[in-house]
Amino acid sequence: HELAGYVSCLVSEGSRGSSSVVESFMKLTPAQQPVIQRSLLALERLMDVQRRLSVDETSSKCQLDLGTCDVVTAWASGCSWSEALEISGSAPGDLARTLHRALDALRQFGSLPYSPVRATG
């Protein structure tokens, strides 16, 4: 369930709501908070490197949008459509688009080749 929330942070088009990054972070599950915190630190380091190398920011936009993580996690955990709408504060069409983008990205994991990072046994 939490993976769906992480993926939504990567594929989101940007939240239209007024939640700040801190407010969005506080809505994450206790397990998600340290993962997102480490991801934000890694993103910050990447952006520093890009600035030092004068990479055009418009061609390599790096962002992690936390605004959809809570609703996508709740949806993946089985909340109702009404509950998801309430959590998101979005219009139904916007929420459907958010969930569709996250689901589409999650489906792609199934077609990735499996190659274990560590030797087993």
User: What is the DSSP-derived secondary structure letter of residue 77?
Assistant: T
pLDDT, residue 116, reads 73
Nearest-angstrom CA–CA distance, 59 and 37: 25
pLDDT tens for each residue of 74-114: 999 999 999 999 999 889 999 999 999 999 999 998 888 88
pLDDT band at residue 117, thresholds of 50, 70 and 90? confident
Exposed, middle or buried by CB within 10 Å (0-12, 13-18, 19+), for 39? middle
Which residue, among 24, 6, 16, 1, has the nearest Cα to 97 in the 3D structure? Answer: 16
Residue 115: what pLDDT?
78
What are φ and ψ of residue 108, in 5° steps?
-70, -20
Q: For the segment 1-39, what is each residue's pLDDT rounded down to a tens digit?
A: 889 999 998 888 765 555 688 888 888 889 999 999 999
Nearest alpha-carbon partner for 2 in 63, 72, 79: 72
